[in-house]
């Protein structure tokens, strides 16, 4: 293993670790096995100052499994280099705003994502952090009555629903946005309590895409889910990363929620997202 290699747990959170003393493109097999075990344990690994090239990020993501998609930009910089301003309020801006709500990736798809590798190319001077919340610790912290209640409940997950809460009138192919997740057809139903397929730990599966719990009316369901998010996403179960260019993170989407935080959109923010596909055996919806 590399000399000086270190996995340091975050001090103020129930999850997460900072990894130093290693270059991702140069991982040997023994170091990879240790990193993968740490990922399952901590759910979030932060690698400062990696400055990965495109092929290097994709190759790293593929070590965790097949990809849902190789690499996509999450940015307020348009293809022509100009900035997408908040006042424009176009489709992509609405998606960026939506990402500021707590969520897990691809719960609105037939198969939920396993995880993601995320890197920073350009970051604003203030704001634009990414936050994660530990849904394992949130489940563990529930009182007995609430835990018994959530064990028997499920919710539907939809990007159309979550974007509609922002006044975004979505359709299957939305302007500049490529329509990913805005498909037509059945809406996935998922249990509120998820058992991790590799660790066996239980966690809450909630977030902004979840809605319409069967057996509750819509208003009751909305209040119940909002209360769960408010309870779950608070210290010590949250960590917000203050990005520096070159930083790379990998997180376990099967037990963490995440969110972006606001920033001054007169400043550019360019982030790169590689999404790791879920295993259909363990990440498929109950019904879709």
Domain count along the chain: 1
Query: What pLDDT, in 10s, does the model give residues 16-38?
Result: 999 999 999 999 999 999 999 99
Q: Is residue 108 part of a domain?
A: yes
Does any domain span residue 284?
Answer: no
Note whether residue 286 is domain-resident: no
- The pLDDT value recorded for residue 111 is 95
CA–CA dist 274, 218 (Å, integer): 34
Would you state the structure tokens that stand for residue 265, as one six-digit string? 């959109």
| pLDDT score at 177 | 43
The gap from C-alpha 223 to its chain's centroid, in whole angstroms, comes to 22
Is residue 163 scored above 90 in pLDDT? no
Q: Is residue 282 part of a domain?
A: no
Detail the DSSP E strand segments found in the chain: 6-9, 17-20, 44-47, 67-75, 115-122, 130-134, 154-157, 189-191, 193-195, 202-204, 210-211, 238-241, 248-252, 256-260, 270-276
Q: What integer pLDDT is reported at residue 182 of this predicted model? A: 65
Top pLDDT among 130 and 185 is at 130
Range of weakest confidence among 15-29, 163-177, 197-211, 236-250: 163-177
pLDDT tens, residue by residue, 213-222: 999 999 999 9
- Strand, helix or coil at 221? helix
- What is the model's pLDDT at position 170? 66
Residue 215 lies in a domain: yes
Task: Kindly state whether residue 285 falls inside one of the protein's structural domains.
Answer: no
Q: Which domain holds residue 76?
A: 6-277
Query: How far, in Å, CA of 161 to CA of 167, rounded?
Result: 10
Q: What is the predicted pLDDT for the residue at 53?
A: 98
- Please give the average per-residue pLDDT across 234-256, as a whole number: 98
Q: What is the pLDDT of residue 47?
A: 98
In a domain, 17, yes or no: yes
Token look-up 């293993």 returns 1
pTM, whole model, 2 decimals? 0.93
For the cut 50, the answer to whether the pLDDT of residue 159 exceeds it is yes
Give the number of residues written for the chain: 288
Classify residue 174: in a domain, yes or no: yes
What is residue 41's predicted lDDT score, i.e. its pLDDT? 98
Whether 185 has a pLDDT exceeding 90, the answer reads no
Tokens, residue 205:
């599966």
- pLDDT per position as a tens digit, 61-115: 999 999 999 999 999 999 899 998 877 777 788 888 888 999 999 999 999 999 9
Which domain CATH number covers 115? 3.60.130.10
Please tell me the distance from the alpha carbon of residue 91 to that of residue 80, in angstroms, as a whole number: 17
């Amino acid at each position: 293993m590399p000399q000086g290699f270190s996995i340091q747990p975050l001090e103020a959170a129930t999850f997460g670790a900072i990894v130093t003393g290693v270059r991702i493109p140069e991982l040997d097999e023994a170091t990879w096995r240790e990193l993968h075990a740490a990922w399952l344990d901590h759910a979030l690994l932060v690698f400062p100052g990696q400055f990965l090239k495109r092929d290097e990020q994709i190759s790293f993501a593929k070590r965790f499994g097949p990809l849902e998609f190789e690499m996509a930009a999450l940015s307020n910089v348009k293809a022509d280099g100009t900035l997408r301003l908040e006042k424009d309020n176009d489709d992509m801006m609405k998606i960026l705003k939506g990402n500021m709500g707590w969520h897990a990736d691809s719960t609105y798809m037939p198969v939920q994502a396993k995880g993601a590798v995320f890197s920073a190319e350009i970051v604003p001077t203030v704001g634009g952090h990414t936050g994660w919340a530990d849904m394992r610790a949130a489940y563990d912290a529930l009182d007995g009555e609430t835990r018994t209640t959530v064990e028997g409940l499920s919710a539907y997950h939809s990007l159309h629903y979550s974007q509609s809460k922002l006044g975004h009138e979505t359709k299957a192919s939305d302007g500049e946005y490529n329509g990913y997740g805005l498909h037509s057809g059945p809406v996935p139903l998922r249990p509120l309590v998820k058992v991790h397929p590799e660790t066996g730990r239980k966690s809450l599966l909630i977030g902004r895409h979840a809605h319409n719990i069967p057996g509750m009316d819509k208003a009751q369901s909305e209040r119940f889910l909002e209360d769960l998010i408010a309870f779950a996403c608070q210290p010590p179960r949250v960590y917000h990363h203050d990005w520096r260019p070159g930083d790379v993170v990998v997180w376990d989407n099967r037990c963490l929620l995440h969110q972006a935080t606001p920033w001054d959109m007169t400043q550019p923010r360019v982030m790169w997202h590689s999404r790791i596909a879920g295993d259909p055996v363990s990440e498929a919806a109950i019904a879709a």
